Amino acid sequence: GTYRAHSRSEDEIVFPALESKHALRNVSHAYTLDHQQEEQLFLDLETVVDALRRCTGGVAEAHEHVLAVRRMCAAVRASLETHIRAEEAELWPLFTEHFSTEEQQYLVGVIIGRTGAQVLTALLPWITESFSSEEQEQMMGSLRQATKNTMFDQWLEAVTAR
């Protein structure tokens, strides 16, 4: 899903690009470890949700499973929020400082090229709902610039025209 595509893109594209800049060695290792921990949290969440689905006991047993799901959701949320805040504060400023606009656009293009249409289709409504109008325009402008004259550019035009 969306999380897996995001973390894989960072681990396989973004972080190696950062590490390739000699001034930025060993910057991303902790984030890769975060991704491994978060993946485990999602697996644990899946386990407790499955246990709730299989619950055949009474209300008390179902309530215990619901509480377990709630705790796991809180753990996932806390982990992701901490991870994202750290990335935004520490990693992304390094891109502005050490990568030209063209290099950044190239990386975005590589990420988009590896991301499935299903994930991208799920992300676009999130972008439009979560960002201000100005942020939406900047994001869509960046996407269009990074994918200019590609099939993705045509696809993006089609899905945003809906």
**Whether residues 18 and 38 fall in one domain:** yes
Look up the domain containing 7 and give its range: 1-98
**Whether residues 15 and 87 fall in one domain:** yes
By mean pLDDT, which of 42-56, 82-96, 101-115 is the weakest?
A: 101-115
**Whether residues 128 and 157 fall in one domain:** yes
Residue among 38, 133, 39, 119 at smallest CA distance from 86: 38
**Whether residues 146 and 130 fall in one domain:** yes
pLDDT number for residue 3: 81
State how far the alpha carbon of 10 is from the alpha carbons of 30, 65, 105, 110, in Å.
12, 33, 15, 11
Last residue of a domain, one of 98, 127, 149: 98
Cα separation, 113 vs 118, in Å, equals: 13
Cα separation, 149 vs 72, in Å, equals: 43
Last residue of a domain, one of 98, 117, 146: 98
Question: What's the total number of domains in the chain?
Answer: 2
Mind listing the pLDDT tens digit for each residue in 9-48? 889 988 889 888 876 777 788 888 999 999 999 999 999 9
Sign of CA dihedral 14, 15, 16, 20: positive
| 59 contact partners, CB below 8 Å, separation of at least 6 | none
Last residue of a domain, one of 43, 68, 98: 98
Mind listing the pLDDT tens digit for each residue in 55-87? 998 999 999 999 999 999 999 999 999 998 998
